[in-house]
Structure 1
């Protein structure tokens, strides 16, 4: 083929800022790496994921990437009648006709007029139903997996687990052998949806996992120095080609409003006044939030630790799939006198510019929910993590970081009247462990941070894997 021919790649991320940002950053890498590519990202409008400000910002600033918003579809029955995973999967499946129409009418016609060739359709974890559209239109389908290789290994092994273990995993007394893990895995660190095999969420996970194997290749946001065993476990010839291209990160960070910008400036000015590596940063992702009982325990634990702190504190939504919001009255949820006693030593805020904070010299440790994007960001900046997983695959990520890789310290649930509450003593212990300047975890994290940066540079492992992906995309045309 003519090596100067332009190539179109279409991405179909799940709704939600975590999936979208990682997908767009990967798309940026593709455009920057090879100027023959142009990208269309097809987005689904969802009441639980307001991403318009982000997509408009990217479209205005990054040549070669355009966004097409699909028409709104009726929502399926809500999570009160089925799992959140089933709700999301059905919501996405309802977009199939619109996706097919968009590819035929917008993208295919654009390709003809501009001499573009359609090189591939990238789905993600929850949009695998769109592989049907790719097959109908004769387009190679690929998967962009926004989590790590160990979690990918669980998904690719899920059908085997289902066949081998007849009982619900929540009742299974043994530990699991999963090829992408060196250690046996306790069932309770798996995503909670997998603990009940009769649930609608489990059925959808099995569906998506099966469809992963129908793709021409799986791109995973990791690097070989971080997850060597997991990546080596895929070399048995039973799976599509695996490309580890990470860390794929949004190192600019995104601010979405004037209030975000004002908050950003306040936080950074406060951090500028703190000594190097003196501040513990607590942040739990776009969906992480706590009620008053847990807030009290965190506050007591932080105060007892004696360390300086930056705490992103958000309140749970009272309505279904709506994301958390900032507390309007911190005095009403924090222990009496806490803000006065910690004045000058700590800052409690709502939304936080996580990337900018982790990059700041004042940050010495990170209490994190262990979303995969947050894990990679923390490693990139050499900031050790105290793990506090909340939902999705975060417990599995935490297990991998602590038990498999020795790159984090554990904060444990339980010890109070409610086993789901993390008590103040455990918060204090976790903060002290991660902030210890001489601990082995800190040294390992800093070494891994150097490896992560090298991996994406020319000659690095992810750079080479990215090159193989481009070559394969070209050869399938």
Structure 2
């Protein structure tokens, strides 16, 4: 999706050009709509003043809060790049999207427009290999999960670039302590320059966690560094997932039927969170419209222990509507990849369209 400039070379040689879009149909639709506003209507979303509270996007059923726009949409530095991406996307013969027709039916309707490329929902495209079974630290974590009751453990994991400051770490710890729930927390130290260095592990957890936290939660929780996310999510003990809202992580959570708490940190993740919470009802928000961008700005607004605890209690409810909807969507995601399923059918249509365009 970031190599769309290659389309000019493909066109030069008369080769039909298709794109694999690894995020969702909703953000793809927003990309194209913002590019249209930027180019055709001279409408710069980064110039919006406080009198405009919401924006309407054809790929969403609900108005989108302006203050929740990702930094890549609201920054004058990034918007031209973003618009250029949209222009390139429009030149494609078609776009394979890592989504499921049953998950984003409204967003996908936008691509019935003859002026837009054909969208092929072929997901969920996931890498479910559990990795090295000989890693002792990994095995220790998985064995611990095997000893926990079903749907009793909250998993907190924030992707390869998600790290927390000491202040934010303490707020999470206070919330976990108050909630009383079992937990597995993948805690990474925030990088001072995430473009140059990925987050790493804290060398001494006792220096950043509240006094006595590890002792008080010893019988119901684990704080670790890197986590084997897929292997953890598939364990029956996992009852909820606090996620940075990377699209792949969200699809993994849906695949295993685990309801989510949304904590977007960078890139398009605020849109992903809005879709899962407001559009689809498949997640619980930790708080509406967290300001900042860990990747492009380098910092995030601190989320309080009170907000975190509320979200934890909500997502861990065993008979909640969110949990029921997630279970139903998990079944649809599995069926989509079977013979006759929506994603399998979309992939077959893509292959046929390529053959016809080449012939």
In structure 2, what is the equivalent of residue 179 of structure 1? 58
In structure 1, what is the equivalent of residue 150 of structure 2? 276
Cα shift at 1:183: 0.4
Matched, 1:352 2:227: yes
Correspondences of 1:240-259 after superposition (within 5 Å) = 240-254=117-131
In structure 1, what is the equivalent of residue 46 of structure 2? 168
In structure 2, what is the equivalent of residue 363 of structure 1? 238
Matched, 1:427 2:329: no
Structure 1 counterpart of 2:105, from 221, 224, 228: 228
Measured in 2, the distance between the counterparts of 1:392 and 1:178 equals 18
Report SS of the residue matched to 1:476: helix
In structure 1, what is the equivalent of residue 190 of structure 2? 316
Report SS of the residue matched to 2:55: coil
Instruction: Kindly indicate whether the alpha-carbon contact (under 8 Å) linking 2:34 and 2:83 is maintained by their aligned counterparts in 1.
Output: yes
TM-score, normalized by length of structure 1?
A: 0.70
Measured in 1, the distance between the counterparts of 2:49 and 2:229 equals 38
Instruction: Kindly indicate whether the alpha-carbon contact (under 8 Å) linking 2:68 and 2:289 is maintained by their aligned counterparts in 1.
Output: no
Measured in 1, the distance between the counterparts of 2:183 and 2:283 equals 18
Structural RMSD (CA)? 1.9
Matched, 1:454 2:331: no
In structure 1, what is the equivalent of residue 178 of structure 2? 304
TM-score, normalized by length of structure 2?
A: 0.92
Instruction: Kindly indicate whether the alpha-carbon contact (under 8 Å) linking 2:45 and 2:73 is maintained by their aligned counterparts in 1.
Output: no
Matched, 1:471 2:347: no
Cα shift at 1:272: 1.0
Going from structure 1 to structure 2, the CA distance change for 1:381 and 1:150 (only over 3 Å counts) comes to same
Instruction: Kindly indicate whether the alpha-carbon contact (under 8 Å) linking 1:287 and 1:323 is maintained by their aligned counterparts in 2.
Output: yes
Structure 1 residues 392-426: Cα deviation after superposition (integer angstroms, max 9, x where no partner): 111111111111111111101699xx981111111
In structure 2, what is the equivalent of residue 382 of structure 1? 257
Cα shift at 1:266: 1.6
Report SS of the residue matched to 2:112: coil
Structure 1 residues 264-303: Cα deviation after superposition (integer angstroms, max 9, x where no partner): 2121011111111100000011111100000000000011
Structure 1: give runs of 5+ residues left out of the alignment.
1-123
Structure 2 counterpart of 1:332, from 203, 207, 218: 207
Which has the higher relative contact order, 1 or 2, with Cα contacts under 8 A spaced 6 or more apart? Answer: 2
In structure 1, what is the equivalent of residue 293 of structure 2? none
In structure 2, what is the equivalent of residue 203 of structure 1? 80
Aligned residues: 346
Structure 2: give runs of 5+ residues left out of the alignment.
291-298
Cα shift at 1:142: 1.0
In structure 1, what is the equivalent of residue 68 of structure 2? 189
In structure 2, what is the equivalent of residue 8 of structure 1? none
Cα shift at 1:476: 2.5
Matched, 1:156 2:32: yes
Instruction: Kindly indicate whether the alpha-carbon contact (under 8 Å) linking 2:170 and 2:209 is maintained by their aligned counterparts in 1.
Output: yes
Q: Which has the larger radius of gyration?
A: 1
Measured in 1, the distance between the counterparts of 2:316 and 2:49 equals 37
Structure 1 counterpart of 2:281, from 406, 416, 420: 406
Instruction: Kindly indicate whether the alpha-carbon contact (under 8 Å) linking 1:159 and 1:210 is maintained by their aligned counterparts in 2.
Output: yes
Cα shift at 1:170: 5.6
Instruction: Kindly indicate whether the alpha-carbon contact (under 8 Å) linking 2:265 and 2:300 is maintained by their aligned counterparts in 1.
Output: no
Instruction: Kindly indicate whether the alpha-carbon contact (under 8 Å) linking 1:413 and 1:421 is maintained by their aligned counterparts in 2.
Output: no
In structure 1, what is the equivalent of residue 11 of structure 2? 135
Instruction: Kindly indicate whether the alpha-carbon contact (under 8 Å) linking 1:188 and 1:195 is maintained by their aligned counterparts in 2.
Output: no
Measured in 1, the distance between the counterparts of 2:130 and 2:300 equals 35
Instruction: Kindly indicate whether the alpha-carbon contact (under 8 Å) linking 1:413 and 1:423 is maintained by their aligned counterparts in 2.
Output: no
Cα shift at 1:166: 4.4
Cα shift at 1:473: 1.8
